[in-house]
């Protein structure tokens, strides 16, 4: 990723001076997909503004999407990074890495940092992302060593450090238990199988991918995982982590059974990191924003996994923790912060993955209520499966397994209003 403008080094100090001068002070909290896209959009419109980015990570931004590929060994560590060390300097951006924003004063337009510094801003972007959900049994002091760096214990899969730890454990021959049968848990199970490890996937729901697939698709993919060597147990939760003299030894399940495992990876979803702005701007599950990514405080914007945006149907708001949405939202936010005009077209929930050679895509609304003009149309040939969810005369959702070549046209149709779907499923 290159800086869009080639702004000079002097832009850091020669930029105009916010409310006290002729220019604008921008502060971007978070330097992942949304933050990076915002920085580029700002620089396109304002090459000389004073731009500061704050991020907890000590190294430049990397792709979370590629973490499971790194674990599988199909992507090298160096290929995870989206930008080089020199990216921020070349863009004329002051980068404060390894620092966290801890406080916000909207009236004074300033942000407090963990290193004691206070940043003043005219426009603030909150792109703090999301954190992994931590069940009580996996918290520090509850039987695991979550957050540690060893090859055994309890960890999540959210950061590069998490991925490094999981890969090392797998290569060392340690048994791995994955807790959570959503997209991240399934992707991790696939990555470990590609590495030659036989993981156990524990799923609290009656089926895998229950939030992003219908029952038929879930069963097809679950059977495929089992055929490929993944152990899958549905309808069970972890009650306790078993520790011994050498660290984590396994878990006790809700049915009373014991499952051995040296490394337990928690993949139970994520929650938006709203603490910086909670109490200052409107927050529901995420930070509520308009189509322009503006919060209830005009000078503050939010984008990415922390933001709760209008959906494409204009019927509600959603948090969408997927990379393409985060990048697009960041671009919209940065453009509007710098005086341009752009709108996010609305959240269309979407998931896509390769399950050990079987492609899977889902999008939009997955459940068709029994009343109100809803119905579904499905087609199955072997392990290839297609299901469309129809409301009135419009397609509003789809699930595809195996043959997914129509995913793009279906998504385009949904964004156009959903008409003409019959042509998409013609024999």
In tens, the pLDDT along 165-209 reads 999 999 999 999 999 999 999 999 999 999 999 999 999 999 999
Percent of the chain with pLDDT over 70: 91
Q: Any idea which residue has 């407090």 for tokens?
A: 112
Q: Do 25 and 110 meet the contact criterion of CB atoms below 8 Å apart? A: no
What is the per-residue pLDDT for 140?
Answer: 52
| Residues 151, 263 within the same domain | yes
| Residues 98, 154 within the same domain | no
| Residues 257, 144 within the same domain | yes
Beta strand ranges found along 224-348 (DSSP E): 231-234, 238-244, 247-253, 258-260, 263-266, 270-272, 287-288, 300-302, 307-310, 317-319
* 398 compared with 23, residue with greater pLDDT: 398
Average pLDDT of the chain is 90
What is the per-residue pLDDT for 217?
Answer: 97
pLDDT above 70: residue 4: no
pLDDT digits (tens, 9 = 90+) for 6-28: 443 344 333 333 333 358 999 99
What is the band of 144 on the pLDDT scale with cuts at 50, 70, 90?
very low
| Residues 208, 222 within the same domain | yes
Percent of the chain with pLDDT over 90: 80
| Residues 140, 256 within the same domain | yes
Residue 388 sits in a domain whose CATH number is 3.30.390.30
pLDDT digits (tens, 9 = 90+) for 223-244: 999 999 999 999 999 999 998 8
Residue 90 sits in a domain whose CATH number is 3.50.50.60
What is the per-residue pLDDT for 18?
Answer: 38
**Mean pLDDT across the stretch 211-227?**
97
Q: Any idea which residue has 């992942």 for tokens?
A: 32
- The answer to whether residue 351 sits within a structural domain is no
Distance between CA 319 and CA 321 in Å, rounded? 6
| Residues 141, 259 within the same domain | yes
- The answer to whether residue 349 sits within a structural domain is no
| Residues 141, 257 within the same domain | yes
**Mean pLDDT across the stretch 110-126?**
98
Residue span of the structural domain in which 193 resides = 136-268
What is the band of 427 on the pLDDT scale with cuts at 50, 70, 90?
low
What is the per-residue pLDDT for 383?
Answer: 86
pLDDT above 60: residue 156: yes
| Residues 105, 201 within the same domain | no
Distance between CA 339 and CA 193 in Å, rounded? 49
DSSP line for 139-193 = SBTTTB-TT--SSSEEEESSSHHHHHHHHHHHHTT--EEEE--SHHHHHHHHHHH
What is the per-residue pLDDT for 246?
Answer: 81
Structure-token pair, residue 331: 């671009």
Contacts (Cβ under 8 Å, ≥6 apart) of 164: 77
What is the per-residue pLDDT for 8?
Answer: 39
pLDDT above 70: residue 5: no
| Residues 81, 153 within the same domain | no
**Mean pLDDT across the stretch 140-152?**
51
* 123 compared with 424, residue with greater pLDDT: 123
Dihedral sign of CA atoms 364, 367, 372, 373 in order:
positive
- What's the number of domains the chain is made of? 3
- The answer to whether residue 144 sits within a structural domain is yes
| Residues 150, 252 within the same domain | yes
Q: How far is CA 28 from CA 21, 220, 315, 323, 421, in A?
A: 20, 43, 29, 18, 41
- The answer to whether residue 2 sits within a structural domain is no
């Amino acid at each position: 990723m290159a800086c869009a403008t080639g702004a000079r080094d002097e832009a850091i100090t020669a930029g105009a001076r916010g409310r006290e001068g002729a220019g604008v002070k921008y502060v971007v909290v978070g330097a992942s997909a949304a933050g990076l896209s915002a920085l580029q959009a700002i620089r396109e419109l304002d090459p000389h503004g004073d731009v500061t980015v704050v991020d907890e990570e000590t190294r430049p931004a990397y792709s979370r999407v590629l973490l499971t590929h790194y674990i599988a060994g199909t992507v090298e560590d160096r290929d995870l990074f989206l930008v080089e060390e020199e990216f921020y300097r070349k863009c004329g951006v002051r980068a404060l890495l390894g620092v966290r924003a801890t406080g916000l004063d909207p009236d004074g337009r300033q942000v407090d940092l963990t290193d004691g510094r206070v940043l003043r801003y005219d426009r603030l972007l909150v792109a703090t992302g999301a954190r992994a959900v931590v069940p009580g049994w996996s918290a520090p002091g509850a039987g695991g060593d979550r957050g540690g760096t060893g090859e055994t214990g309890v960890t999540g899969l959210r950061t590069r450090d998490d991925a490094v730890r999981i890969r090392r454990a797998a290569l060392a021959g340690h048994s791995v238990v994955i807790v959570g049968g959503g997209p991240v848990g399934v992707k991790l199970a696939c990555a470990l199988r590609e590495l030659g490890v036989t993981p156990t996937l524990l799923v609290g729901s009656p089926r895998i991918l229950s939030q992003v697939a219908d029952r038929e698709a879930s069963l097809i993919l679950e059977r495929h995982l089992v055929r490929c060597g993944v152990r899958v147990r549905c309808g069970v939760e972890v009650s306790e982590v078993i520790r011994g003299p050498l660290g984590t030894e396994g878990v006790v399940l809700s049915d009373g059974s014991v499952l051995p495992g040296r490394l337990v990876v928690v993949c139970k979803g994520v929650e938006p990191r709203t603490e910086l702005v909670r109490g200052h701007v409107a927050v529901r599950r995420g930070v509520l924003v308009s189509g322009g990514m503006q919060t209830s405080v005009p000078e503050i914007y939010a984008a990415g996994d922390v933001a709760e945006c209008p959906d494409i149907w204009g019927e509600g708001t959603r948090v969408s923790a997927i990379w393409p949405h985060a990048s697009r939202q960041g671009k919209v936010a940065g453009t509007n912060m710098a005086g341009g005009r752009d709108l996010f077209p609305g959240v269309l929930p979407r998931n896509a993955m390769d399950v050990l050679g079987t492609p899977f895509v889902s999008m939009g609304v997955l459940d068709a209520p029994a009343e109100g003009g809803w119905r579904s149309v499905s087609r199955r040939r072997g392990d290839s499966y297609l299901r469309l969810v129809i409301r009135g005369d419009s397609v509003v959702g789809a699930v595809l397994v195996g043959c997914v070549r129509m995913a793009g046209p279906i998504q385009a149709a949904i964004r156009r209003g959903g008409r003409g779907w019959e042509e998409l499923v013609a024999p």
